Homo-oligomer: A and B are copies of this chain.
Amino acid sequence: MDIIGLTAQDKTRFFSGVKALPIELKAKITSIAKSFKKLGEDDPRRLTHSFKVGLALSLVSLLYYAKPLYDGFGVAGMWAVLTVVVVFEFTVGGTVSKCLNRGFATFLAGGLGIGADYFASLFGKKGEPIVLGILVFLLAAAATFSRFFPRMKARYDYGLLIFILTFSMVAVSGYRVDELVLLAHRRLCTIILGGATCMLISIFICPVWAGEDLHKAVASNLEKLATYLEGFGGVYFPSCKDEGTGVNSKDGNGNSLFQGYKSILNSKNIEESLANFARWEPGHGRFRLRHPWKHYLEIGALARQCAYNIEFINACSDSDIQASEEFKSKIEGPCSRISAECGKALKALATSMKTMTDPSSAKPNVENSKAAMKDLKFALKAASTENADFLAIVPAATVGSVLVEIAKCVEKISEAVHELSERAHFSRTVEPTVSPEKPPQLLHRGVIRPASDVTNDVHKNVVITIHEISTVSPENETSGQHQVPKPGQV
């Protein structure tokens, strides 16, 4: 014990606590640094964007540092800095829309503000602040209210905000500042300067196009659905894993691939905001000025519809009712074919979107899935067993009808992508090369019809017709369209 009453143990504890603190701090800093690194690795464009903002700010601050520029603009150069910070968005469309909104709103509100000031000055020195106050109140209330219009909110929300801002500032400061027109002129000039800097940097230095992001996002959503559907047959009907239907559930990190579709469920807002920004973008790469961006939203909505069905099928699969293996085996052929063909069709549609080529290669798959739907109907009609326990049949029957709904959805998606390809003038060049790795695919399509209506043993009297249809494999027909786009190409 020393003078302040601490035992040796207390001291050890205290000092080890002091030592432990920096270690904890170090661990925290390391974890933050790691998450920073991950954030950058997930999408390197984020890093580029940050540097672009820094660059724009440094450029604009030249207005202050350079003597001739400062003499021209004075303290108003501050507005350029403000504009850059507020206006610079991640995508080109976002930046352009904010710049244009800000520019036009400032111009309009500045003019109106000067007019309001002149009008108020007619009422004498005493009446002026009252009239100005009423005008500011009315205009601000009206503009705020119109921000609630959904269409206004989607496109011109920022413009309305700046309109209120500029009008109030010009009208109010006009009461004290004499050189109002000069002030408004300088402000507009610096805002245009700041906005132009942002637009040029965001368009010409590693641009992030909202339109391209939308295009890729919708295509990748279709791919996620395809991954699930292609794997589904192999998981739900394990016996047909190695058949010729192309079902393969061992897609590397299997489980995470099956969860991919979940992100589609809540994709509406992202898609809508991207489509909204895309409209402001100039033509770029393979997208012209009037690209049918709105049409992507329709494809996105259909993909969501499909994802809802998959979400349901997923919830069903952990049901506590034991499905009848006998019944399952009867419908497994058509069912796994529906899901495999739907998956292939979606993959073909996604590839066609990514490469912006004719999506016709998905048509055979859609037709095959329709045929498989018919087969499923026949199989169900035929699959009457004596000892039918309906309880055991329900789970498999449900999966069958969900797959039918999914197939209908996929057909609609195919139609929508075809319409998009027409509106957006996807190229129709079909390269004649034949990919050698994949042999022409044989589709075993079996139709089972009962010979008599009700008999004691249906199985013996069934006429089984199996067509061996050698469909032209979509890979062969349009192999040139299926290549994965090169990194710089998309």
Contact = CB atoms under 8 A, between A and B. Distances in A.
Interface string A124-141: 000001001100111011
A30 to B, nearest CB: 16
B148 A39 contact: yes
A112 interface: no
Interface stretch (A4-12, A376-384, A473-481): A376-384
A137 B308 contact: no
Contacts of A397: 390, 393-394, 397-398
B136 A57 contact: yes
Contact of A168 (B61, B133, B169, B381): B61
A136 B58 contact: yes
Interface in A379-420: 380-381, 383-391, 393-395, 397-398, 400-402, 404-405
A145 B389 contact: no
Nearest to A57: B140
A176 interface: yes
B86 A141 contact: no
Contact of A308 (B86, B149, B308): B308
Interface stretch (A201-209, A230-238, A252-260, A265-273): A265-273
B384 A142 contact: no
Interface in A164-219: 164-165, 168-169, 172-173, 175-177
- Number of chain A interface residues as a range: 35 or more
A13 interface: no
Nearest to A136: B57
A65 B168 CA distance: 13
Contact of A405 (B85, B173, B316): B316
Given A75-B177, A136-B54, A46 B405 contact: no
Interface in A56-96: 57-58, 61, 64-65, 70, 75, 78, 81-82, 85-86
A454 interface: yes
A443 interface: no
A53 interface: yes
By Cβ-Cβ distance, the 5 closest A-B pairs, closest first, are A54-B141, A54-B137, A50-B145, A380-B391, A65-B129
Interface of A: 35-36, 39-40, 46-47, 49-51, 53-55, 57-58, 61, 64-65, 70, 75, 78, 81-82, 85-86, 129, 132-133, 136-138, 140-142, 144-146, 148-149, 161, 164-165, 168-169, 172-173, 175-177, 265-266, 268-269, 304-305, 308-309, 311-312, 315-316, 319, 321, 377, 380-381, 383-391, 393-395, 397-398, 400-402, 404-405, 453-454
22 contacts: A40-B145, A47-B145, A50-B141, A50-B142, A54-B144, A57-B137, A57-B168, A58-B133, A58-B136, A61-B136, A64-B173, A70-B176, A82-B165, A82-B169, A85-B164, A266-B266, A308-B312, A312-B312, A315-B405, A316-B405, A380-B391, A398-B401
